[in-house]
């Protein structure tokens, strides 16, 4: 190969980096870790709030779990048991029962979306789906609001474990969920290239990126650059250690349950400890149109019982629960009526969610439903209300207003009202 | 007089017992006497009227190389390689764009790529990205792909394809006795939940009607009622998917989709009805009735009436079929459809260009549902030819922030995962090695990493190939990128490094191959810096630049 380009002598690597520093934002990871910021980190950590959402994909039958109707024709076979809080819950959740002083059940959830996609969207965003706008989801909103509390964070601020969660909407791709499996293993993390060359490649990439974004003036082209920056940070960060859930001792793994959801909850605790402001852990398979009670008592509830109770207990023991909100919910509840296949169908009119941690009071049962569970008989609460309550618990101002891409102002949590019983 | 009289000769060919029309370019056309199909002017007029109404002016025309990259990606699912790009850009005739579209659609050397691309697109539509990926799944992904590849390779008319997919009977797996790949669309959707998924998929994908909510209650904003859902659903109740086991084992060898006599839920085959339960607990009865109110026989005996065939026949007569197809194909090429979402059509969801949608649908039917004709009209239309630049005169035309699309520029969008895969393969200097099956296996493994599911029984899924971190990591460090940026003997970069007269020329080739443009001055300067940092190793510099190109927004976007 004959080159027509000269190699001038005296062009050192240092010179090269100086040359590039002005043209690129992508090499900034190491540079933002200034001494002043480091000194403040300890102080920041003290006030650091987080949230963990336990998402029950498919729509959990809350009438069999948190708001039992023993004796009613709709009641099903399960018995209620007493708990460490005021609420009685299902006999198949005995370990969670011991943690109920930390958690509260909202029994008067009343929503309108009983289709999976619409329900998932609504419960994750506080908005009903609208073809002209994509609203940001819980994880995007909360991580966006809490990110300033952790300037040292180099790993994604919104992680979803074992599922897909919901997107960042108009907040942009930089706030999208980082999806991992419960093993915490992440593909394609290693470039096998020395650091200097990686940074030089990033600089070349940055040049092409910014040129294209400037020429097209479109939003999508510019968003990509932010994602590249986050990816680069993550690849070069020692904080990635938090994903290595396999490093936990066997006893702890066993306590959470050696299944996907159990290990996912354990991974969530590790991530929150490392400073990630929002983690979602997904447990699917609640779409129980058939054989609901058998499936609940043999598989779903034992799995949930172990993992959820372990998470709350562990967070409390580590002093993290007072700063970590727990949100348990699905896209809707299930019909009080038991159908011809011994299942329950989609039902949004009267159902339950469970919350606790951070500034949210535990031990309560808020609201009530009728004797057969088909109607809410106290003040009904919506997705927006629950979201507002969680935000309040996390100290996020409810006067926060986002501007959508088409310049429409949007109130955080869609202007929902705080459930007063749950916050001091 | 036919509009094709001066420019084209028509050949009638009989393929698989079907009458299809193939077109051949005649010599006159090369001399610039192109007569374009009138449908193109029809599209242009309607779209241009919209610009007048909104008082905006369109972006300028995209340059030839950008347009070439665009049309390759959309028609055959990958970017052009260097030779293909040069073949197009060196053609100075006035009808070079017509000729390129014609080449991609009708030249034998692209038949395989065309068929593969569209089979992939439709497989994802019909059975999702996860369909047939699990061993216990009745759906056979290979079977689905094979049916669709054959259909697109022979340019099967759209209506024929829909009819076959809706009415198919036979075995799922290639090589199994009675194999009919078309059954894979419905085989995983009929046994569970009273075939609810079969009904909602057929109505959504082919008729643009979202009915999944109406199984339990009347639709909140369209005129579908619960009754209508169960009437539509009744068409699928003779259909069963049967498991066929491998001899002497309990492993499923393949599945078979059959039509069986149906006794109905009141156990009377001559009056085979279904029950459904309303919200208030009352039970009502439904028989097969098409969406327009046409009733068919209530008998459940297949010999009296094959319900799915009746449904197929009724669908072919419905205007919704044409509208959905026109809307879908338009959105595939322009990035946005006339409605949002594209498969939720009707009076409750106004189209942005209702008259154009109507006309395009009618013309498609008039052209005997020739998909390649529809593609020709769209790709040669003015909106498809515009640059992807948001200018000061059309700032309101930004559907990404929720404005209605006016098609006054080409909307940037990310390539689909499959397009990126094929483009990376093409960008690594050629076709991947191995048989079709081996290549397909590799591709599928690569694609699988991006599929995430939602844990519902409707099989809802999403992709993490959405411009977020996992995708960026894959492009940074993944095996495919490593292969594409390899500098070993015989690799694309190694061959490139031996060509041309100068480093600048080779760098230019690299930019053309990846981005269909020349490097800017700043980029040349940056490459020179990299060249020095690599101690004068040009091949390593090219490797770094190629890595940067493949990872850029400009590479992964359709623009």
Name the residue ranges covered by the structural domains of chain B. 37-106+322-411, 113-316, 418-558
Map residue A355 onto helix, strand or coil: strand
Mean pLDDT within A414-419: 95
pLDDT at B455: 62
DSSP string, B48-97: HHHHHHHT--PPPBPPHHHHHHHHHHHHHSS---HHHHHHHHT--STTHH
Pick the residue with more confidence: B400 or A203?
A: A203
CA distance A216 to chain B (A): 4
Helices (H) and strands (E) in chain B, counts: 24, 11
Minimal Cβ distance to B470: which of A179, A282, A284:
A179
The answer to whether the Cβ–Cβ distance between B478 and A3 falls below 8 Å is no
CA distance to B82, B250, B555, B557, per residue, from B468 (Å) = 29, 41, 15, 14
Give pLDDT, residue B14. Answer: 33
Q: List alpha helices for A147-235, DSSP H.
A: 195-216, 219-235
**Cα nearest neighbour of A170 on chain B:** B401
**Nearest-angstrom CA–CA distance, A71 and A328:** 26
Nearest to B212 among A115, A156, A287 (CB): A115
Query: What pLDDT shows up at residue A9?
Result: 40
**Calculated CA dihedral for residues B504, B510, B512, B513, nearest 10 degrees:** 160
C-alpha dihedral over B328, B330, B331, B332, to 10 degrees?
80
Q: With an 8 Å Cβ cutoff, are A203 and B526 in contact?
A: yes
Alpha carbon distances (Å) from A262 to A162, A187, A255, A257, A283: 11, 21, 8, 5, 9
B464 to chain A: which residues are within 8 Å by CB? 164, 179
Phi, psi torsion values for A380, nearest 5 degrees? -80, 145
Contact A332, A118 (CB under 8 A): no
| pLDDT, greater one: A422 or A174 | A422
Cis peptide before B283 (omega within 30 of 0): no
Looking at the complex, report in whole angstroms how far the Cα of residue B355 sits from the nearest Cα belonging to chain A. 21
Residues 6+ apart with CB under 8 A from A383: A111, A122, A123, A125, A126, A416
Tell whether A115 is within 8 A of chain B (Cβ): yes
**Out of B449, B502, B527, closest to residue A187 by CB:** B449
Cβ contact A205–B539 (<8 Å): no
Lowest mean pLDDT among A44-48, A371-375, B396-400, B408-412: A44-48
Quote the minimal CA–CA distance from A13 to chain B in Å.
6
Q: What is the pLDDT of residue A2?
A: 46
Q: What are phi and psi of A109, to 5 degrees?
A: -70, 130
How many residues make up chain B in this entry?
Answer: 559
| Best A208, A232, A280, A406 residue to mutate vs chain B (most B CBs within 10 Å) | A208
Q: Are B473 and A215 inside 8 Å of each other by CB?
A: no
Contact B61, B386 (CB under 8 A): yes
Q: Does A224 touch chain B (CB under 8 A)?
A: yes
A131 vs B552: CB contact, 8 Å cut-off?
Answer: no
Which pTM does this prediction carry?
0.81
| Alpha-carbon gap, residue B401 to A405, rounded angstroms | 5
Is residue A149 within 8 A of residue B422, CB to CB? The reply is: no
Selection from A164-173, A185-194, A237-246, B153-162 with the highest mean pLDDT: B153-162
Phi, psi of B146 (to 5 degrees): -65, -45
What pLDDT is attached to residue B432?
A: 57
Cβ-defined contact of B473 to A231 (cutoff 8 Å) = yes
Could you tell me the fold of the domain covering A45-184+244-422? Alkaline Phosphatase, subunit A (3.40.720)
CB-side exposure of B450: number of CA atoms within 13 Å?
A: 25
Total residue length of chain A: 424
Q: Do B460 and A289 touch (CB under 8 A)?
A: no
Nearest to A284 among B455, B497, B502 (CB): B455
| Closest CA of chain B from A187, distance in Å | 7
- Residue bearing tokens 């208030």: B280
Q: Which of A28, A29, A15 is nearest to A239 (CA)?
A: A29
pLDDT of residue B304: 95
CA distances to A48, A152, A156, B27, B550 from A233, in Å: 21, 11, 9, 58, 19
Rank A179-188, A217-226, A255-264, B124-133 by mean pLDDT and report only the highest: A255-264
Pairing of strands B274-277, B8-15: unpaired
Contact criterion met (CB < 8 Å) for A204 and B464: no
Spatial contact of B535 and B527, defined as CB atoms under 8 Å apart: no
The CA distance from B454 to the nearest CA of chain A, in Å, is: 6
- How many angstroms separate the CA atoms of A194 and B73, rounded? 34
Q: What is the pLDDT of residue A166?
A: 86
Every domain of chain A and the residues it spans: 45-184+244-422
If you measure CA to CA, which chain B residue comes closest to A171? B401
Place of tokens 């926060």: A400
Mean pLDDT of A32-48: 52
Minimum-distance CB partner of A208 among B413, B530, B548: B548
Q: Which residue has the higher pLDDT, B38 or A12?
A: B38
With a cut of 60, say whether residue A28 has pLDDT above it: no
**Residues ≥6 apart with Cβ < 8 Å to A420:** none
Tokens of B536: 């004068």
What are the chain A neighbours of B533 within 8 Å (beta carbons)?
11, 13, 16, 196-197, 200
| pLDDT at A33 exceeding the cut of 80 | no
Please choose, from the candidates A361, A355, A348, the residue with its C-alpha nearest in 3D space to the C-alpha of residue A63: A348
Would you say A239 and A155 are in contact if contact means Cβ atoms under 8 Å apart? yes
A145/B contact by beta carbon, under 8 A: no
Q: What distance in Å separates residue A139's CA from the closest CA in chain B?
A: 15
Are B92 and B64 in contact by the 8 Å Cβ rule? The answer is: no
Rg (CA), chain B: 26
Nearest to B258 by CA among B204, B350, B187: B187
* β pairing state of A178-180 and A158-161: parallel
Q: Which of A224, A230, A124, A247 is nearest to A172 (CA)?
A: A224
Q: Which of residues 228-267 of A touch B (CB under 8 A)?
A: 228, 230-231, 234-235
Helices (H), B184-306: 196-207, 226-233
Beta strand residue intervals within B401-464, DSSP E:
413-414, 451-453, 461-463
- Structure tokens given for B401: 């922030």
Least confident of A232-241, A368-377, B47-56, B359-368: A232-241
In terms of CA atoms, which chain A residue is nearest residue B523?
A207
* Chain B contact set for A5 (CB, 8 A): 503-504, 528, 531, 536, 538
Which regions of A283-405 does DSSP assign to beta strands (E)?
A: 324-330, 333-334, 346-347, 351-357, 365-366, 401-403
Q: What is the pLDDT of residue B470?
A: 83
- Mean pLDDT, chain A, as a whole number? 87
CA distance A132 to chain B (A): 4
Nearest to B455 among A117, A197, A282 (CB): A282
pLDDT at A322: 95
**Contact between residue A224 and residue A209 where contact means Cβ atoms under 8 Å apart:** yes
Higher pLDDT, A223 or B49: B49
DSSP code string of A192-211: -S-HHHHHHHHHHHHHHHHH
Residue A194: CB atoms within 10 A of its CB come to: 9
| pLDDT attached to residue A46 | 65
Q: Closest to B533 (Cβ–Cβ): which among A4, A200, A287?
A: A200
CA distance B296 to B287: 8
Q: With a cut of 60, say whether residue A218 has pLDDT above it.
A: yes
Report chain B residues whose CB lies below 8 A from the CB of A12.
none
Q: Are A80 and A89 spatial neighbours (Cβ–Cβ below 8 Å)?
A: yes
- For chain B, residues with pLDDT lower than 50 are 1-32, 221
Nearest Cβ partner of A3 from B341, B460, B536?
B536
Which chain A residues are Cβ-neighbours of B559 within 8 angstroms? 216
Task: Please give the structure tokens belonging to residue B148.
Answer: 């669709």
pLDDT at A229: 86
- Nearest-angstrom CA–CA distance, B539 and B497: 6
Identify the pLDDT of residue A10: 38
User: Which candidate, A329, A345, A286, A238, places its Cα nearest to that of A51?
Assistant: A329
- Report the pLDDT value the prediction gives residue B192, as an integer from 0 to 100: 79
Chain B residues touching A170 at Cβ < 8 A: 401
B502 contact residues in A (CB cutoff 8 A) = 4
Q: Which residue, chain included where needed, has tokens 């779209």?
A: B47
pLDDT at A38 over 60: no
Q: Is ipTM strictly over 0.85?
A: no
For residue B412, the chain A residues in CB contact (below 8 A) are 216, 218, 220-221
CB contact residues (below 8 A), chain A span 51-110, against chain B = 57-59
A147-186 burial, b for 16+ CB within 10 Å, e for fewer?
eebbeebbbbbbbbbbbbbbbbbbbbbbbbbbbbbbbbeb
Residue pair B187/B241 in contact (Cβ under 8 Å)? The answer is yes
Q: List the single best residue of A27, A115, A225 to mutate versus B (max B Cβ within 10 A).
A: A115
What single string gives the DSSP state of each residue in B382-415?
HHHHB-S---TTSTT--GGGTPPP--SSPPPEEP
Q: Residue A129: helix, strand or coil by DSSP?
A: coil
- pLDDT score of A192 more than 90: no
Q: Determine which of B532, B537, B547, B556 to mutate to test the interface with A (most A C-beta atoms within 10 Å).
A: B532
Q: How far apart are CA B474 and CA A180, in angstroms?
A: 14
The CA distance from A151 to A26, in Å, is 17
Phi, psi of B354 (to 5 degrees): -60, -40
Helix (H) or strand (E) run with residue B21 in it: strand B18-25
Q: How many CB pairs below 8 A link A and B? A: 227
Nearest to B59 by CA among B411, B331, B403: B411
Check B529 against A230: CB less than 8 A apart.
no
Chain B interface includes A399 (CB < 8 A): no
Say yes or no for a CB contact (<8 Å) between B476 and A221. Answer: no
Alpha carbons A248 and A244: distance in angstroms, whole number? 8
CA B259 – CA B308 distance, rounded (Å): 9
């Amino acid at each position: 190969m004959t080159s027509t380009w000269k190699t001038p002598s005296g062009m050192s690597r240092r010179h090269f980096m100086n040359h590039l520093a002005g043209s690129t934002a992508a090499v900034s990871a190491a540079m933002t870790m200034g001494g002043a910021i480091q000194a403040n980190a300890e102080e920041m950590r003290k006030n650091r709030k987080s949230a963990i959402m336990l998402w029950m994909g498919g729509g959990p039958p809350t009438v069999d779990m948190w708001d039992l109707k023993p004796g009613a024709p709709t009641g099903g076979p399960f018995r209620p048991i007493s708990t460490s809080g005021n609420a009685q819950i299902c006999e198949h959740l005995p370990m969670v029962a011991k943690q109920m002083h930390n958690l509260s059940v909202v029994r008067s959830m009343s929503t309108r979306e009983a289709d999976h996609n619409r329900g998932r969207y609504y419960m994750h965003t506080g908005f009903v789906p609208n073809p002209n706008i994509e609203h940001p989801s819980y994880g995007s909103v909360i991580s966006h609001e809490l990110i300033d509390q952790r300037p040292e964070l180099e790993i994604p601020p919104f992680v979803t474990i074992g599922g897909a969660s919901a997107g960042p909407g108009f907040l942009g791709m930089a706030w999208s969920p980082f999806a991992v499996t419960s093993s915490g293993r992440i593909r394609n993390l290693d470039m096998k290239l020395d650091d200097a060359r990686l940074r030089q490649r990033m600089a070349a990439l940055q040049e092409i990126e910014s040129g294209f974004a400037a020429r097209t003036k479109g939003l999508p082209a510019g968003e990509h650059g932010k994602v590249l920056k986050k990816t680069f940070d993550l690849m070069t960060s020692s904080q990635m250690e938090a994903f290595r859930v396999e490093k936990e001792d066997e006893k702890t793994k066993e306590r959470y349950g050696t299944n996907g959801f159990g290990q996912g909850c354990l991974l969530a605790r590790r991530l929150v400890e490392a400073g990630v402001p929002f983690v979602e852990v997904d447990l699917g398979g609640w779409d129980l149109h058939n054989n609901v009670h058998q499936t609940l008592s043999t598989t779903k509830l034992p799995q949930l019982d172990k993992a959820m109770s372990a998470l709350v207990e562990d967070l409390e023991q580590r002093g993290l629960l007072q700063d970590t909100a727990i949100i348990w919910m699905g896209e809707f509840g299930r019909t009080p009526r038991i159908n011809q296949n011994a299942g329950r169908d989609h039902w949004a009119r009267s159902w339950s969610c469970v919350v606790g941690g951070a500034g949210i009071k535990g031990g309560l049962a808020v609201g009530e439903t009728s004797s057969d569970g088909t109607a809410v008989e106290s003040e009904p609460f919506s997705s927006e209300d629950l979201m507002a309550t969680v935000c309040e618990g996390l100290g996020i101002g409810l006067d926060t207003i986002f501007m959508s891409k088409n310049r429409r102002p949007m109130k955080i949590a869609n202007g929902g009202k705080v459930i007063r019983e749950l916050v001091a | 007089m036919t509009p094709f009289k001066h420019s084209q000769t028509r050949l009638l060919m009989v393929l698989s017992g079907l009458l299809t029309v193939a077109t051949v370019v005649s010599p006159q056309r090369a001399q610039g006497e192109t007569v374009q199909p009138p449908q193109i002017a029809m599209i242009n007029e309607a779209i241009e009227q919209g610009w007048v109404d909104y008082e905006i002016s369109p972006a300028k025309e995209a340059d030839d190389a950008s347009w070439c990259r665009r049309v390759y990606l959309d028609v055959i699912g990958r970017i052009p390689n260097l030779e293909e790009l040069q073949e197009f850009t060196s053609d100075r005739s006035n009808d070079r764009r017509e000729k390129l579209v014609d080449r991609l659609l009708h030249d034998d050397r692209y038949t395989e790529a065309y068929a593969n691309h569209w089979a992939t697109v439709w497989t994802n539509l019909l059975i999702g990205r996860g369909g047939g990926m699990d061993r216990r799944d009745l759906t056979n992904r290979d079977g689905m792909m094979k049916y669709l590849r054959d259909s697109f390779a022979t340019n099967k008319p759209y209506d024929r394809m829909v009819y076959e997919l809706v009415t198919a009977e036979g075995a799922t797996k290639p090589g199994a006795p009675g194999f009919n790949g078309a059954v894979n669309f419905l085989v995983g959707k009929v046994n569970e939940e009273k075939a609810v998924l079969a009904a909602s998929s057929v109505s959504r994908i082919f008729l643009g009607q979202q009915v999944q909510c109406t199984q339990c209650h009347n639709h909140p904003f369209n005129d579908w009622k619960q009754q209508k859902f169960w009437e539509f659903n009744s068409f699928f109740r003779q259909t069963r998917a049967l498991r066929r086991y491998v001899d002497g084992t309990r492993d499923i060898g393949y599945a078979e989709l059959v039509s069986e006599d149906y006794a109905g839920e009141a156990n009377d085959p001559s009056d085979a009805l279904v029950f459904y339960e309303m919200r208030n607990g009352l039970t009502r009865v439904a028989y097969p009735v098409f969406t327009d109110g046409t009733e068919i026989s209530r008998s459940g005996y297949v010999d009296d009436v094959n319900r799915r065939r009746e449904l197929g026949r009724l669908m072919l007569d419905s205007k919704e079929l044409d509208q959905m197809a026109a809307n879908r194909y338009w959105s595939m090429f322009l990035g946005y459809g006339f409605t949002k979402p594209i498969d939720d059509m009707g009076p409750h969801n106004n189209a942005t260009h209702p008259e154009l949608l109507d006309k395009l649908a009618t013309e498609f039917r008039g052209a005997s549902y020739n998909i390649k004709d529809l593609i020709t009209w769209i790709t040669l239309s003015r909106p498809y030819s515009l640059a992807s630049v948001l200018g000061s005169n059309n700032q309101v035309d930004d559907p990404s922030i929720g404005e209605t699309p006016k098609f006054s520029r080409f909307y940037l969008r990310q390539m689909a995962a499959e397009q990126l895969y094929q483009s990376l393969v093409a960008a690594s200097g050629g076709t991947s090695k191995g048989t079709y099956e081996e290549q397909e296996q590799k591709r599928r493994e690569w694609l699988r990493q991006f599929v995430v599911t939602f844990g519902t029984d409707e099989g809802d899924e999403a992709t993490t190939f959405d411009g977020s971190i996992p995708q960026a990591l894959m492009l940074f460090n993944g095996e495919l990128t490593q292969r594409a940026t390899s500098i070993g003997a015989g690799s694309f970069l190694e061959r490139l490094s031996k060509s041309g007269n100068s480093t600048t020329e080779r760098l230019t080739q690299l930019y053309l191959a990846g981005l269909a443009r020349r490097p800017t001055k700043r980029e040349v300067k940056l490459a020179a810096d990299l060249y020095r940092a690599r101690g004068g190793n040009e091949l390593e510099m090219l490797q770094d630049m190629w890595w940067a190109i493949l990872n850029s927004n400009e590479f992964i976007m359709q623009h």
